[in-house]
């Protein structure tokens, strides 16, 4: 610290001179440090470049001769042999038949003959009958959906299968005659239906008096042989004698004739059913049926019992059977035949069928 004299003769401390000295000292130290760092950086750079520049670049070289392992050589030789063998086409000597043709004799001339096929309808009928008996025609008929349009005694029905139940008792013969018709008209109508059926339609017949008989126990397809057999069967068993068909059978204990007949018809599982009768198999609850003998075997049944029976049997079918009723009215035999006709109508209407009354 320096002392400077004042105007009053006193001295004061010179502080500014010491500060300047300190600042100079610090600046000098900073300059020296920067210089030393610069020297180090320059030296490092020089040494790095010098060292890298002294290294030699790598050189990649390979000898001209490459030695492969023994297995690789063997594999290459095998591949080369396979390629050579595959490239060589196989030579097959050509086959010739010149020598054989040279020794063949000359074929004789064959005269021209016009052949005409011989058609024998009897042979076709017999073959159809065999198929029908074996059941094959029934199976083939089930594969087709073709139906026949059937018109029987004024009622038209289109069905794939049907059964006609004909009453041939004496009372029905009299009722048909009272209507001004010949009893054979029914058979002629049945034969006309048979002849018009498509081959894929299945049919059946049941004749009954005091007993019943069926053409077949099941429905048969309308083949040529089955049509012919059905027509012959009708001509043999359908007559106006009023007697039960020969070989007929009755129901259990001969107590419910109509129900046994309907049961046999339902067993055939038809799409449609025709009932042809004068209604004699029904009983009149008012007991005014005084002169008729009835057409069914066994006791006549009430309409309620019949409807219940039909309702139960319909449940067993794949689909409901349509039942049509054809009623021959004969006032000479039945005093109140309208009641009997009403019962037949109820069977038809309850089973999606049609009812027709035939009288003079």
User: How does pLDDT run across 159-176, given as a tens digit for each residue?
Assistant: 999 999 998 888 888 888
pLDDT digits (tens, 9 = 90+) for 229-247: 999 999 988 887 766 666 6
pLDDT > 90? residue 272: yes
Q: Of 68-72, 74-78, 318-322, which one has max mean pLDDT?
A: 318-322
142: its two tokens: 């089930």
pLDDT > 90? residue 10: no
How many other C-beta atoms lie within 10 A of the C-beta of residue 42?
10
How many other C-beta atoms lie within 10 A of the C-beta of residue 119?
7
Q: How much is the average pLDDT of 202-225?
A: 89
pLDDT value of residue 54: 57
Domain covering 146-358: architecture: 3-Layer(aba) Sandwich (3.40)
Q: What is the Cα–Cα distance from 272 to 96, expressed in whole angstroms?
A: 73
pLDDT band at 3 (very low <50, low <70, confident <90, very high): low
Q: Which residues contact 229 (CB under 8 A, 6 or more apart)?
A: 129
Least confident of 312-316, 326-330, 345-349: 326-330
pLDDT > 80? residue 268: yes
Q: What is the Cα–Cα distance from 149 to 127, expressed in whole angstroms?
A: 26
Q: What is the reported pTM?
A: 0.56
pLDDT value of residue 219: 93
How many other C-beta atoms lie within 10 A of the C-beta of residue 64?
4
pLDDT > 60? residue 350: yes
Proportion of the chain above pLDDT 90, given as a percent: 21
pLDDT band at 292 (very low <50, low <70, confident <90, very high): very low
pLDDT value of residue 286: 42
pLDDT value of residue 206: 92
pLDDT band at 287 (very low <50, low <70, confident <90, very high): very low
350: its two tokens: 């309850």
Single out the residue of 264, 282, 190 nearest to residue 227, CA to CA: 190
pLDDT value of residue 205: 94
Q: What is the Cα–Cα distance from 165 to 277, expressed in whole angstroms?
A: 9
Q: Which residues contact 251 (CB under 8 A, 6 or more apart)?
A: 257, 259, 260, 261, 263, 297, 298
Q: How much is the average pLDDT of 106-111?
A: 74
Single out the residue of 148, 149, 150, 169 nearest to residue 280, CA to CA: 169
pLDDT > 50? residue 346: yes
Q: What is the Cα–Cα distance from 25 to 36, expressed in whole angstroms?
A: 17
pLDDT > 80? residue 285: no
């Amino acid at each position: 610290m320096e002392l400077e004299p004042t105007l009053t003769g006193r001295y004061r401390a010179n502080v500014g001179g010491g500060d300047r000295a300190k600042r100079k000292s610090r600046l000098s130290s900073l300059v020296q440090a920067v210089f030393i760092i610069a020297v180090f950086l320059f030296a490092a750079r020089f040494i790095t470049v010098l060292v890298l520049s002294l290294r030699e670049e790598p050189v990649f070289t390979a000898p001209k001769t490459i030695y492969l392992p023994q297995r690789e050589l063997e594999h290459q030789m095998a591949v080369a042999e396979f390629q050579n063998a595959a490239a060589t086409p196989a030579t097959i000597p050509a086959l010739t038949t010149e020598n054989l043709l040279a020794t063949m004799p000359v074929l004789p001339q064959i005269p021209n003959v016009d052949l005409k096929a011989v058609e024998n309808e009897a042979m076709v009928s017999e073959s159809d009958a065999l198929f029908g008996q074996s059941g094959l025609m029934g199976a083939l008929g089930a594969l087709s959906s073709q139906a026949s349009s059937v018109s029987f005694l004024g009622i038209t029905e289109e069905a794939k299968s049907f059964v006609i139940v004909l009453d041939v008792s004496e009372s029905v013969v009299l009722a048909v005659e009272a209507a001004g018709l010949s009893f054979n008209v029914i058979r002629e109508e049945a034969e006309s239906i048979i002849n018009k059926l498509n081959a894929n339609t299945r049919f059946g017949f049941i004749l009954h008096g005091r007993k019943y008989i069926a053409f077949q126990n099941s429905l048969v397809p309308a083949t040529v042989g089955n049509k012919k057999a059905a027509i012959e069967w009708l001509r043999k068993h359908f007559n106006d004698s009023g007697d039960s068909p020969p070989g007929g059978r009755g129901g259990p204990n001969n107590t419910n004739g109509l129900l046994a007949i309907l049961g046999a018809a339902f067993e055939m599982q038809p799409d449609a059913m025709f009932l042809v009768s004068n209604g004699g198999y029904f009983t009149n609850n008012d007991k005014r049926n005084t002169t008729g003998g009835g057409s069914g075997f066994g006791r006549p049944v009430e309409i309620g019992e019949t409807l219940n029976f039909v309702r139960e049997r319909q449940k067993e079918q794949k689909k409901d059977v349509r039942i049509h009723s054809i009623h021959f009215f004969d006032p000479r035999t039945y005093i109140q035949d309208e009641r009997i006709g009403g019962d037949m109508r109820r069977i038809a209407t309850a089973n999606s069928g049609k009812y027709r009354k035939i009288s003079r």
